Amino acid sequence: MPKPDPAPSPVSESPPASVAASHDVLIVGGGLVGASLAIALDGLGLDTALLEAASPGALPAVFDQRNLSLAEATVNALRALDVLPRLRTPTGPIARIHISRSGDFGRVLLEAADHGRAAFGHVVVARDFGDALESKLGDLPRLTRHRPARFLGFAEDGADGLRRARVADGDGDSERVIAAKLVVAADGAASAVRDALGIAAEQHDYHQTLFVARVRSERAPDGTAWERLTDHGPTAVLPRGDGHYGVIHGVARDEADAVAALDDAAYLQRLQRAFGWRAGRFLSVGPRSRYPIARTLAQRLVAPRAVLVGNAAQSLHPIGAQGFNLGLRDALTLVECIEAGHARGEDIGSEAMLAEYAQRRREDRERTIAFSDGLARLTSNPSSLVSPLRSLGLFALDHDAALRAQVVAGAMGYRGDTPQLCREVAA
């Protein structure tokens, strides 16, 4: 694909509020998926802009101490995009996955070596990942960063093939319009862009709350990722690269305030009861964050000169760690569709390109949503009638090689039409 000459200046910030701006692509949202998309688009030589709520020098709130499980496909892509090499702390490889459920018989043990892999994926801390993304964004010569800025809605579009976004700069005292051939909604589950486009979203509240923290145990991580399932949600214990565990503990929503009020010793006791002694005795816990769990699914992914990616398109239950991995595949597929459309002589925001994107994302999106939601509902069902069926399912998965291979492929990010960068293993 032909590339225009790079702009002579480094990454630029927002122009003065009185100056109108126009870009090829405007990405609304500078979080995990939005920042990754901006980096991937740089290879196409486009005039790309990132609309971010965070000020220069600050990271979005999503880049906190939560733990991200990056599937193999995601690791491949982020290495190719020169993001993972910029991490300052080591990742935690997931060499095996151990799945069990409280009150049910059986368990599943998946070994990466049995599938010709050293690891199914890697665990990174969101804050470290955010710093790596920020480092890479700072090296992109064609990227304009409008920050701090907030999306207000769309202005009336003309007949010039552009979408016009109304934007509030800084403290919101000034408003201006930014035009783009394509607007990408990467602004999260409560997407203001999705609402402004008139795209409805189906929502389901799981009535669960997740607590996330770093935990030190008497037994160091050995590459095992444990998922202990209960009536009230999962407790996942993930191997971090710093010698600690990343622990995700699900509780019933009506218990969340009481759990948040526990001191560290009482919280560790609760974790130990929920998880058991597989990782040894838990010794200390870092600051805890809490997140309500809900599913949000946009009824469609595209509108004229606009497209939804990441949590703006679908926000999933965290069981199975599918959310960011799916969102990154959204972003990378969009880049491939834009490049293919350009090769056919189509406009960046053309109807044909958007239709191709929606079609290519259908299978991966539908299968991943079905997996995540089905697993969340099945494993949290307290009915005694369901327990034998779950136990039988765990037994079948542990003993059926073909079924295990199918589950493992999905867990590693290979569902449906997988973007090329996800399939390329870095040398």
| Mean pLDDT on 185-192 | 96
| Mean pLDDT on 387-400 | 52
Residue 372 predicted with pLDDT over 70: yes
What residues make up the domain containing 271?
Answer: 69-124+204-294
Q: For residues 235 and 374, which has the higher predicted lDDT (pLDDT)?
A: 235
Please report the pLDDT score of residue 213 as a whole number: 93
Residue 374 predicted with pLDDT over 70: no
Report the chain's mean pLDDT, rounded to a whole number: 86
Q: For residues 425 and 295, which has the higher predicted lDDT (pLDDT)?
A: 295
CB 405 within 8 A of CB 258: no
Same domain, 146 and 278: no
Same domain, 44 and 137: yes
Same domain, 211 and 235: yes
pLDDT band at residue 186, thresholds of 50, 70 and 90? very high
Please report the pLDDT score of residue 160 as a whole number: 81
pLDDT band at residue 100, thresholds of 50, 70 and 90? confident
Lookup result for tokens 């834009």? 338
Q: For residues 411 and 78, which has the higher predicted lDDT (pLDDT)?
A: 78
Looking at residue 102, which CATH number applies to its domain? Answer: 3.30.9.10
Q: For residues 51 and 415, which has the higher predicted lDDT (pLDDT)?
A: 51
| Mean pLDDT on 363-374 | 84
Same domain, 277 and 208: yes
Which of 382, 401, 417 is a domain's end point? 382
pLDDT band at residue 206, thresholds of 50, 70 and 90? confident
Residue among 314, 360, 363, 348 nearest 41 (CA): 348
Residues in the chain: 427
Please report the pLDDT score of residue 380 as a whole number: 54
How many C-beta atoms lie closer than 10 Å to residue 420's C-beta? 13
Q: How many domains does the chain have?
A: 2
Q: For residues 374 and 261, which has the higher predicted lDDT (pLDDT)?
A: 261
**Dihedral over alpha carbons 277, 120, 335, 139 (to 10 degrees):** 70
| Mean pLDDT on 368-387 | 62
Phi, psi at residue 276, to the nearest 5°? 95, -155
394 is a domain residue: no
6 is a domain residue: no
Please report the pLDDT score of residue 377 as a whole number: 59
Q: For residues 107 and 134, which has the higher predicted lDDT (pLDDT)?
A: 134
Please report the pLDDT score of residue 1 as a whole number: 43
pLDDT digit string (tens) for 278-335?
A: 999 999 999 999 988 888 999 999 999 999 999 999 998 876 678 899 999 999 999 9
**Dihedral over alpha carbons 190, 193, 194, 199 (to 10 degrees):** 140
pLDDT band at residue 406, thresholds of 50, 70 and 90? confident
227 is a domain residue: yes
pLDDT band at residue 103, thresholds of 50, 70 and 90? low
| Mean pLDDT on 102-128 | 85
Same domain, 145 and 35: yes
Same domain, 210 and 287: yes
Looking at residue 41, which CATH number applies to its domain? Answer: 3.50.50.60
Residue 252 predicted with pLDDT over 50: yes
249 is a domain residue: yes
Please report the pLDDT score of residue 190 as a whole number: 94
pLDDT digit string (tens) for 156-178?
A: 776 688 999 999 988 777 889 99
422 is a domain residue: no
Residue 10 predicted with pLDDT over 60: no
Same domain, 152 and 285: no
Which of 294, 316, 351 is a domain's end point? 294
Same domain, 55 and 135: yes
Same domain, 56 and 178: yes
Same domain, 370 and 302: yes
Please report the pLDDT score of residue 424 as a whole number: 77
State both tokens at 65. 């101490």
Residue 204 predicted with pLDDT over 60: yes
401 is a domain residue: no
106 is a domain residue: yes
Residue 362 predicted with pLDDT over 80: yes
Same domain, 185 and 287: no
How many C-beta atoms lie closer than 10 Å to residue 402's C-beta? 7
| Mean pLDDT on 384-394 | 49
Please report the pLDDT score of residue 383 as a whole number: 46
413 is a domain residue: no
State both tokens at 148. 């701090």
Please report the pLDDT score of residue 390 as a whole number: 46
HEC string of the chain? CCCCCCCCCCCEECCCCCCCEEEEEEEECCCHHHHHHHHHHHHHCCCEEEECCCCCCCCCCCCCCCEEEEEHHHHHHHHHCCCHHHCCCCCEEECEEEEEECCCCCEEEEEHHHHCCCCCEEEEEHHHHHHHHHHHHCCCCCEEEECCEEEEEECCCCCCCCEEEEEEECCCCEEEEEEEEEEEECCCCCCHHHHHCCCCEEEEEEEEEEEEEEEEECCCCCCEEEEEEECCEEEEEEECCCCCEEEEEEEEHHHHHHHHCCCHHHHHHHHHHHHCCCCCCEEEECCCEEEEEEEEEECCCEECCEEECHHHCEECCCCCCCHHHHHHHHHHHHHHHHHHHHHCCCCCCCHHHHHHHHHHHHHHHHHHHHHHHHHHHHHHCCCCCCHHHHHHHHHHHHHCHHHHHHHHHHHCCCCCCCCHHHHCCCC
CB 121 within 8 A of CB 412: yes
Which of 243, 269, 294 is a domain's end point? 294
Same domain, 196 and 160: yes
pLDDT band at residue 399, thresholds of 50, 70 and 90? low
